[in-house]
Structure 1
Amino acid sequence: MNNNDSLFKKNGVSFLLPFIMITTCFAMWGFANDVTNPMVASFGKIFQISKFESSFVQVAFYLGYFVMAFPAALFIQRYSFKSGVLLGLTLYAVGALAFIPAKMSGMFIAFLPAYFIMTCGLSFLETSCNPYIYSMGSDDTATRRLNFAQAFNPLGAITGAWIALTYVSASLHPADSKTRGNLMNSVPEQFEAIKTHDLDILVQPYLYVGIVVLLLLLIIWRTTMPKAGDTGKSKSLWLAIKQLAHESNYRKGVIAQFFYVGAQTVCWSYIMYYGHHVFHELEGMSEQVAQQITTYYYLSALVLFAIGRFVCTYFMRFIKPGKLLALLALAALMCLAGVIFVDGRIGLWCLVAVSGCMSLMFPTIYGIALRGLKDNVKFGGAGLVMSILGGSVIPPVQAAIIDIHSEVLGLSSINASFIVPVVCFCVVTWYGLSTNEKV
């Protein structure tokens, strides 16, 4: 490494301001993810649909990542990382503002295209921003720099979750699910009035974030950005895929990322269901009080995740990324054993603790998988963004188990359902161990 290089400097030239601009995007898609996760339960309550049906919010949300990743890579190859960021922010804003006509329709299905468009934008952002941050400085500090940038992602996530849980959920009509179900069948006019009131509340965060994203777009458009990673060379998509397919470390990384994102999505989304199980079903609290208390556990999980990002980025100076990844995945498996077998508040705290274990996983898998890809880094990044599809595939599987509403192998369906993230973290452990000697 050049003596003049540092985490935010290459060949003696500082790129701190562009780094801050792009890192702001990390916080913005963190907001989108975690203002949405708690909404899954809200949609189920507002429209009186099953957990499996409401999980289609996540299907639509993460499908956009899968569909748009390679088109995004082709776009930034032809133009630039900055152009990819600008187009991503544009789609993000359009999708967020599309919640207004979706609300006016009064139909659950109308919200799914809005989520899809928004995450097509997030796919452009992640396909652009992750490799852009990775390429800005020295290869020796690339994984640590990416972890540092990703450390700001939970700050946006905490903000999004706080708004969803303390403003949206708390402002919904106090009628519980049973009362709403009765009204839907007996007094549909009153049910529709409650639904309209709740949808007015639900769309507000998306309206405001759409406006903020447009402002960020204008600022980045006017900011001079480095050309790091923009070689100007064009490569066939199929040639890049063929070359990437021969990279064993990369192939395993795509698989690990798929399962990690699936695990993260269910561990965060279904913490609300687990809290409902603990406080409402086991302890006999009202549905509203149970939701209120669970909110604090959810926010605690995100705070722990954010702290873990900074702490793990520090420890990465001394511990190989692959080894640290494997250790934390094993810790997550131990916590999930508590979630499944202990139950009650202890089980809920174990679920919160999983977030601390997950803190470094996404950027570390990403950084390890991109190692040594050279001019394939853009397409490699796109493949890793496509693997976010795990957040679309895994939640319906767990939701289907929860919807059984009876014991599974002697456990309540909500407890038994967490065997799904156990499988996911086993895959992450395998990847960390398989790369430990190589990175």
Structure 2
Amino acid sequence: MEKKKTGLLTSNGVSMLVPFILVTSCFALWGFANDITNPMVKAFSKIFRMSVTEGSMVQVAFYGGYFCMAFPAAMFIRKYSYKAGIMLGLGLYALGALLFFPAKMIGMFPPFLLAYFILTCGLSFLETSCNPYILTMGPEDNATRRLNMAQAFNPVGSLCGMFVAMTFIQNRLNPLSTAERATLSDEEFAALRDSDLSILIGPYLAIGLIIVCMLIVFACVKMPKNGDQSHDINFGPTMRRLWHTHHYREGVLAQFCYVGAQIMCWTFIIQYGTRLLMAEGDYTALEHTIGGLLGIDTSGAMTEKNAEVLSQGYNIIAMGSHCIGRFVGTYLLKYIKPGNLLRILGTLSAILIIGAIANTGRAGLYCLVATSFTMCVMFPTIYGIALDKMGEDAKFGAAGLIMAILGGSVLPPVQASIIDKGELFGMPAVNISFILPFICFCVVATYGYRVVKRAA
């Protein structure tokens, strides 16, 4: 009898296209939240007259939510269903975003951190639900490629988040520099702070309302029950099985390092670019073009505000290359084994970071931008390798990998503390600080190497 062919999005003879599209839309939604937030480290630092280290508490609150809620999310999903996990995640996402309004009315930094934390508790539910859910929507032998396809739409949301941050927040904040803000009286500072916060919260309130609409859509659509057969928790035995699985245990460490490296690169490119552009003092043809598109005046001397906005422009170019890389990487997985591709990309990323550290001119900035392309498929590839052939254990396995996103909370403050030094070993401290992403990419490359070696 001829073996029946199964498609990438077919499970038990049933098309998973519509559920796949709906779940994939969530990948774009949390990409938006991640990358509208990265530039807010710089924005909050200016608005509340804080150091880079204090401003990086945004990342601690943001990625701390992922860590704290990952296993509760896994237990909830195991008890109920992937769909229930997605709906609860959307509800918390919307609540956190809408809490930006009362936070603005209070006019203090901690309420914003609480809003971020609640928002990312929702993102933790979404990622813990959506990633393994996608793996179940077709044959197991192409699950990693299917996840990479869904994850390819994550940077589309990220691009939108970066664009909104740059156009509707950074470009509209008061142009007073950090030094000028430090000289304001308490009354002047309070008025400026409230004005800037009114600008900052607008996009968050808008995305909160959009998420409410998405929640209604999911409530009305019937979703497949793939992977929802067992509702027993069995936490202890499941965790012991996971811990004794080499490719899973090492995958959690690799994911911790990758997410830390990603967030450091996409957050501190603003500080890297701002320092460089202020030091150079002039504009390249590309920067005149970016400035023209964003409506900023590049005819005079470089200002701090222009340097920040242009740095975010470079960040958007980086994210564009990351988005293209996701589709290219997904295609390459048809011909290159996941572990081998991970090894190659991790090595290339480490080399580019060396370039960003060693070059104090624009060449270093270009190396940092290019790193976004080479880390294009690291997250979903690590995820797919780590959960390979996990079956029902994938729900708790997914939670461990989502907890590894804590790397985005732990490592950025360490890098920020280095940046606050100003200068180290006769070089800009911001350049030296990128030794942390370099180490992280070396860990990712090593994981890819070990996966290939075990499969040989």
TM range (shorter): over 0.9
Residues 4 and 11, structure 1, Cα contact 8 Å, conserved in 2: no
What do the CA deviations read for 1:94-141 (whole angstroms, capped 9, x no partner)?
000011111111101111110000000000000000000011111011
What do the CA deviations read for 1:269-324 (whole angstroms, capped 9, x no partner)?
00000111111134372102212321221110000000000000000000000110
Displacement of 1:379: 0.4
2:40 maps to: 39
The code of the aligned residue for 1:232 comes to S
Residues 136 and 229, structure 1, Cα contact 8 Å, conserved in 2: no
2:261 maps to: 263
1:365 paired to 2:382: yes
Let me know the Cα RMSD of the aligned residues. Answer: 1.2
1:48 maps to: 49
Q: What secondary structure is seen at the aligned counterpart in 1 of 2:336?
A: coil
Name which of 316, 331, 356 aligns with 1:339. Answer: 356
1:30 maps to: 31
2:429 maps to: 413
Q: What secondary structure is seen at the aligned counterpart in 1 of 2:183?
A: helix
Displacement of 1:414: 0.7
Q: What secondary structure is seen at the aligned counterpart in 2 of 1:171?
A: coil
1:435 maps to: 451
Displacement of 1:235: 3.3
Displacement of 1:2: 6.2
State how far apart, in whole Å, the 1-side matches of 2:281 and 2:41 are: 23
Q: What secondary structure is seen at the aligned counterpart in 2 of 1:266?
A: helix
The code of the aligned residue for 2:365 comes to L
State how far apart, in whole Å, the 2-side matches of 1:235 and 1:165 are: 44
Which runs of 5 or more residues in structure 2 are unaligned? 283-301
Residues 39 and 312, structure 2, Cα contact 8 Å, conserved in 1: no
Name which of 232, 241, 255 aligns with 1:243. Answer: 241
State how far apart, in whole Å, the 1-side matches of 2:231 and 2:169 are: 47
State how far apart, in whole Å, the 2-side matches of 1:420 and 1:245 are: 26
State how far apart, in whole Å, the 2-side matches of 1:233 and 1:194 are: 53
1:287 paired to 2:304: yes
2:415 maps to: 398
The code of the aligned residue for 2:304 comes to E
Aligned ranges 1:22-421 → 2 under 5 Å: 22-183=23-184, 187-283=185-281, 285-406=302-423, 408-421=424-437
State how far apart, in whole Å, the 2-side matches of 1:302 and 1:257 are: 19
State how far apart, in whole Å, the 1-side matches of 2:89 and 2:316 are: 28
TM-score when normalising by structure 2: 0.94
State how far apart, in whole Å, the 2-side matches of 1:12 and 1:240 are: 30
1:426 maps to: 442
Identity %: 51
What do the CA deviations read for 1:125-179 (whole angstroms, capped 9, x no partner)?
0000000001111101100000000000000000011000122000001111111
> How many pairs does the alignment contain?
435
Q: What secondary structure is seen at the aligned counterpart in 1 of 2:7?
A: coil
User: Residues 380 and 181 (structure 1 numbering): CA distance in 2 closer, same or farther, change over 3 Å?
Assistant: same
The code of the aligned residue for 1:401 comes to I
What do the CA deviations read for 1:242-273 (whole angstroms, capped 9, x no partner)?
11111111000000000100000000000000
State how far apart, in whole Å, the 1-side matches of 2:55 and 2:4 are: 53
State how far apart, in whole Å, the 2-side matches of 1:224 and 1:4 are: 26
Residues 80 and 231, structure 2, Cα contact 8 Å, conserved in 1: no
Displacement of 1:438: 4.5
The code of the aligned residue for 2:317 comes to S
